[in-house]
Structure formats: C-alpha cells, structure tokens
Amino acid sequence: MKKLLLIMTAAFLLGPIPAFSEQPDKNAANVSSAPADKLPADEGIVVSVLDTTGYTYMELENGGKRFWIAAPTTKVNIGDHIRFVENMSMHNFTSKTLNRTFDKLIFVTSTKVKVAQ
C-alpha cells in the first residue's frame, strides 16, 4: 500500500509526461512508428475497446502479446499507442456490466495517448 501511495504521489507531482498528451493531435498519425515488440511493459497498441459507465476496457498488444486493461473513462481509438499506470491486476475478473470474465485484467489509475512525433 505504501508503494502504491508513493507511486501515485510521484505521478501527481511529476505531472504529464512530455511525450504524451491528454488528447491526441488530430493532425498526427494515430499509430506510433515504434514496432510493437519494443514497447515498455507499461505500454501497448489498442486493438479493441469496450466502454462502460465509469470505465474503458482496452485490449492492448505489446510484443505480440495481448492483454486487457481497465481505466477510468478514456477516449481512445484502435491503433492508439497507450502508456498506463498500473494499480493492480486480477485474474478471472468478471465484469457484471459486460457480462464477461477476463482471464487477467489490469486496473490502471491513468492512461496517456502517445502523440506521433
């Protein structure tokens, strides 16, 4: 719990990450030019999106592996390059709203859409 509080405090104090913005630039390409197999573990390319009240579920791909994250409501598009801050992960998580069970779901505190350079 102390680690989570420390991480969240550091993220708040550091503010936005310069290479990322709250909203993607409409004139920039949505897909990063970086190959998916070279992304850090806390990033991925959006391959599918499910929106519910209060949450956006995103299936991301990174290095040929796909995984799901659940974030506070976020506007994203297929192909967006996302960076996220992990809060916790759960195995066999069932969303009653979606009537679906995820083998593994990563709950995140925030996401950023990487703007193409």
Report the alpha-carbon distance of residue 28 to residue 96 in Å, rounded: 37
Q: What pLDDT is recorded for position 53?
A: 92
User: Residue 114: which pLDDT band, with cuts at 50, 70 and 90?
Assistant: confident
* Comparison of pLDDT for 103 and 11, the residue scoring more: 103
Domains, the chain, in order of start with CATH, read: 2-114 (2.40.50)
Q: Is 61 helix (H, G, I), strand (E, B) or coil?
A: strand
- Average confidence (pLDDT) over 93-114: 95
Q: What pLDDT is recorded for position 86?
A: 93
Query: How many of the other CB atoms lie within 10 Å of CB of 28?
Result: 12
Q: What pLDDT is recorded for position 37?
A: 58
- Flag whether pLDDT at 75 surpasses 90: yes
- Average confidence (pLDDT) over 66-70: 97
Mention every residue, 6+ apart, whose C-beta is less than 8 A from residue 13. Answer: none
Q: What pLDDT is recorded for position 24?
A: 42
Give the H or E element holding residue 4: helix 2-14
Query: Are the CB atoms for 32 and 45 separated by under 8 Å?
Result: yes
- Flag whether pLDDT at 109 surpasses 60: yes
